[in-house]
Amino acid sequence: MISAASTSMAGLGAAFQRLDGAAARVAAPRAASDPTAAVVDAVQAKVEVGLNAAVLKSTLDAEKRVLDILV
């Protein structure tokens, strides 16, 4: 079974890659690309980073509480 921490870490990596790609498209737009779409992609990636970070924090807090109970 895949843990929530692993899933959120993978999500963070993917979101950072999307953010990096969108930032590159905003910084160096090509004639064929739409800068508005690149900005929208960057904002979506930022939201995904925040969501995955919140899931990771929540998961780590829950695991800490379980360990505190067991010890």
Q: Give, in degrees to the nearest 5, the angle at Cα 57 between 14 and 66.
A: 130
Please report the sign of the dihedral spanned by the C-alpha atoms of residue 41, residue 46, residue 49, residue 55: negative
1 pLDDT band, cuts 50/70/90, is: very low
Instruction: Calculate the CA dihedral of residues 12, 15, 19, 21 and round it to 10 degrees.
Output: 120
Residue-wise pLDDT for 7-66, tens only, equals 999 999 999 999 999 999 888 877 667 888 999 999 999 999 999 999 999 999 998 998
What is the C-alpha separation between 43 and 15, in angstroms, rounded?
Answer: 10
